[in-house]
Amino acid sequence: MNKKEYLDLISEIARHDALYYDECNPEITDFAYDELVKKAKEIEQIHPEWKPSDSPLEKIGESPSPGFKTVKHRYPMLSLANTYSEEELDDFTKRMQKLLEREHVDFFAELKMDGVAISVRYEKGKFVQALTRGNGKEGDDVTINISQLANLPLQLKEPKTVELRGEVYLPIEIFQELNKEKEENGQEVWANPRNAAAGSIKLLDKSEVKRRKLHIVFYDIVEIEDEEIKRQSSISSILTRIGLPTFDQQDTARCKNPKEVLEFAEKIEKKRPFYPFQIDGIVIKLDTLEERGFLGTTGKTPRWAVAYKFAPEQAITTINDITVQVGRTGILTPVAELEPTLLAGSTISRATLHNQDEIDRKDIRIHDTVWIEKGGDVIPKVAGVDFTKRDSHSKAWKMPSFCPSCQSPVVRLESEVAFRCLNSYLCPAQSLRRITFFVAKGAMDIDHLGEKIVEKLLGAKIISSISDIYKITSSDLEKLEGFKEKSIHNLLDSIERSKNVPLARFIFALGIKYVGAGGSEILANHFKNIENIKKATKEELLELEGIGPKMAESIVEFFSKSRHVQEIEELLSLGVEPKAPEEIKSGHPFFQKIFVLTGTLEKYPRAEAAALIKQRGGKVASSVSKETDYLLAGSEAGSKLKKAESLGIKVLSEEEFDSML
């Protein structure tokens, strides 16, 4: 490689740094990035004189962000070197033995969260500051945003001054909900939970940060008042004692030799699919802190620690076709129709391609051989194309000019990455999605009215809008194939019962842009009825904790459209009467208790159980932690039940839950 090729490589690394840290939108995997860095370092060993003074290989993290004050770290925030193979991990442990000149070396291993590193400081027990890693020497002051995190205590159990290192992350379930919302609103989706967390902590609207329900976990103490820490393995108990979220004991290990480190890595890799958050490996550190000081650091990484990263599980398949799905808001989403292939325990035959820009950037074509993986180990996605196998049969793909459902012209609005059909109320696909959304669990929860039945009702012209659901008669259903006396009774009975859903679920069912389940709860609890929400001004909405400018504007815009107002009035005239939220009673057993729900509940849809808990002053979390008070477990409960039992958390049956209500 000549000098120009080397400098081009350095520029490419700097570009990927900016995409990862500053834009939270990486184009390549961590492994591919590390391969570029490895290649550059090998060249620098041969030609040290080529190395530029501002080499990205010597930098840590991101550039300062506009809108945030830059603050110097009291203690530098370094980044870890990555390893990807058992051989590299073995090299690290043996290097520690050699540098410390003894065979017996204690290691401490823990999860490597795939989130955003953060420095947090408490003074006299009170939360006072949070900084991003930045360049390792100084970072952005994100104190206000971090104060909104779902599980961060603002006051410790002890009045200590302490500085900590932790990781901000987004639980997988919440990541999926937010991505679905972004896709429906014509916005570009996040590739994985890490990108979502990184983008969220840099928002200038703290109410939006709170809405995204970020979490934090702490793993290190760099300063603590009146206490001497000698081993990494003792930090977890200190963090728990002072009231901070940290790793479960079963997700850490004190290892006496390289063999035990590898055994721990294998155990965690098997558990990886069952965590409610994303991890991408484990971190191995020397357990004795005094020895760390002896070994010191090299460049931007400590000598005494390393990250062992798991490879993403991938599969190779071919794209047979690219089809288009029309969402309830008119967004056209391209979908890869794949040759079915097994990936991470399930057969994958379809994968979203998100939008035209994504297809163009990756140069994805019909009949291409592609690698697929689960984005954030969750959502099937096309990771890349094997260009060596591309042949003359491959076909480039472009978004159609007309909606495949109603043949209306397709437009691309300036503010969106997505293409959209604007024929909202006459497009069959949008009507199908909108009505299916309205009747779904978590919304009106009308049993026996799934997508296929809605499609039949639309096709027979029995319904054309959501209010038409409440006009369906027995004679209408008798005309449809497959409907007998019992199925007709079940559906009509379910429609009748839905007339009295909680107000929050009725608001959610309307499908107002940017208003999810949480926003619907806020509106219901404050305004008490739909008439008050209809009359609310943007200024009134912005006064509510958890309602940001975009959501407020969307709510006002929704109720300014006569079609929406007429549809709501029609629903009310047909007997739909949403229940106003009950006043929270401080004496109730649920008051200020944290619940997690798991499994299939027989009596209550999960959303209804959550609403009942909240109405009585309780809280509902997505994952089990030491702060959880109760786990409400239905049939087929999985990993959450095991974790609750291991932590000694009270597990409620539906009967026990009923009696406590």
Select the more confidently predicted residue: 498 or 203. Answer: 498
Q: How far apart are CA 631 and CA 633, in angstroms?
A: 6
Which of the residue ranges 356-365, 510-519, 520-529, 596-605 would you say has the lowest mean pLDDT? 596-605
* Beta-strand relationship, 419-421 and 331-343: antiparallel
Q: How far apart are CA 461 and CA 476, in angstroms?
A: 10
Residue with tokens 């107000």: 503
Residues 6+ apart with CB under 8 A from 77: 60, 61, 117, 119, 133, 134, 136, 139, 165
The answer to the question of residue 44 being in a domain is yes
Which of the residue ranges 41-55, 84-98, 155-169, 251-265 would you say has the lowest mean pLDDT? 41-55
Q: Tell me, what's the pLDDT at 7?
A: 85
Is 62's pLDDT higher than 60?
Answer: no
Nearest to 172 by CA among 245, 278, 273, 251: 278
Q: In what order do the strands lie in the sheet with 279-286?
A: 82-83, 305-309, 279-286, 107-113, 252-255
For the chain, counts of helices (H) and of strands (E)? 24, 24
The answer to the question of residue 65 being in a domain is no
Q: How far apart are CA 307 and CA 656, in angstroms?
A: 44
The answer to the question of residue 37 being in a domain is yes
Q: Is 539 helix (H, G, I), strand (E, B) or coil?
A: helix
Same domain, 265 and 324: no
Determine the structural domain holding residue 439 and report its residue range: 428-573
Q: Tell me, what's the pLDDT at 575?
A: 95
Could you give the angle at the alpha carbon of 324 between the alpha carbons of 323 and 328, nearest 5°?
150
Q: Is 35 helix (H, G, I), strand (E, B) or coil?
A: helix
Is 309's pLDDT higher than 70?
Answer: yes
Ranges 65-69, 87-91, 240-244, most confident: 240-244
Q: Which CATH number does the domain housing residue 140 bear?
A: 3.30.470.30
589-644 pLDDT, tens digit per residue, is 898 899 998 887 776 666 667 777 877 888 888 778 888 999 998 876 777 888 88
Same domain, 157 and 193: yes
479 in catalytic set: no
Contact assessment for residue 231 and residue 289, using Cβ atoms and an 8 Å cutoff? yes
The answer to the question of residue 144 being in a domain is yes
Same domain, 604 and 565: no
Q: Tell me, what's the pLDDT at 377?
A: 47
69, 94, 98, 112: which is the annotated catalytic residue? 112
Residue at a domain's end among 518, 544, 573: 573
Q: How many CB atoms lie within 10 A of CB 162?
A: 23
Same domain, 301 and 207: yes
Q: How far apart are CA 195 and CA 215, in angstroms?
A: 14
Q: How far apart are CA 457 and CA 592, in angstroms?
A: 44
In the chain, the percentage of residues whose pLDDT exceeds 90 is 45
Q: Which CATH number does the domain housing residue 368 bear?
A: 2.40.50.140
Q: How far is CA 5 from CA 58, 177, 180, in A?
A: 19, 43, 42
The answer to the question of residue 63 being in a domain is no
Is 346's pLDDT higher than 80?
Answer: no
Q: Tell me, what's the pLDDT at 576?
A: 95
Same domain, 539 and 621: no
Residue at a domain's end among 383, 400, 419: 419
Show the tokens assigned to 541: 């909405």
Same domain, 255 and 291: yes
Q: What is the mean pLDDT of residues 251-270?
A: 91
Domain count, the chain: 5
Q: Tell me, what's the pLDDT at 273?
A: 77
Could you give the angle at the alpha carbon of 375 between the alpha carbons of 372 and 381, nearest 5°?
35
User: Where would I find the H helices in 336-450?
Assistant: 356-362, 428-439
Same domain, 131 and 263: yes
Same domain, 472 and 561: yes
Q: How far is CA 315 from CA 114, 349, 383, in A?
A: 22, 12, 10
With b for 16 or more beta-carbon neighbours within 10 A and e for fewer, the 28-54 pattern comes to bbbeebbeebeebeebbeeeeebbeee
Q: How far apart are CA 593 and CA 649, in angstroms?
A: 12
Residue 58 gets which letter from DSSP?
G
Q: Tell me, what's the pLDDT at 513?
A: 86
Q: Tell me, what's the pLDDT at 536?
A: 95
Same domain, 324 and 214: no
Kind and range of the H or E run holding 12: helix 3-17
Select the more confidently predicted residue: 21 or 309. Answer: 309
The answer to the question of residue 583 being in a domain is no
pTM given for the model: 0.59
Residue at a domain's end among 58, 80, 102: 58
Residues 6+ apart with CB under 8 A from 46: none
Same domain, 443 and 548: yes
Same domain, 114 and 213: yes
Q: Tell me, what's the pLDDT at 336?
A: 95
Q: Maximum Cα–Cα distance for the chain, whole Å?
A: 87
State the chain's mean pLDDT as an integer.
87
Q: How far apart are CA 158 and CA 243, in angstroms?
A: 8
The DSSP result for 187-218, as a single string, is PPPPSSHHHHHHHHTT-S-HHHHHHTT-EEEE
The answer to the question of residue 297 being in a domain is yes
Q: Tell me, what's the pLDDT at 211?
A: 82
The answer to the question of residue 589 being in a domain is no
Same domain, 270 and 158: yes
444-478 pLDDT, tens digit per residue, is 989 889 888 999 999 999 999 999 999 999 999 99
Q: Which residues pair with 169 in a beta bridge?
A: 215
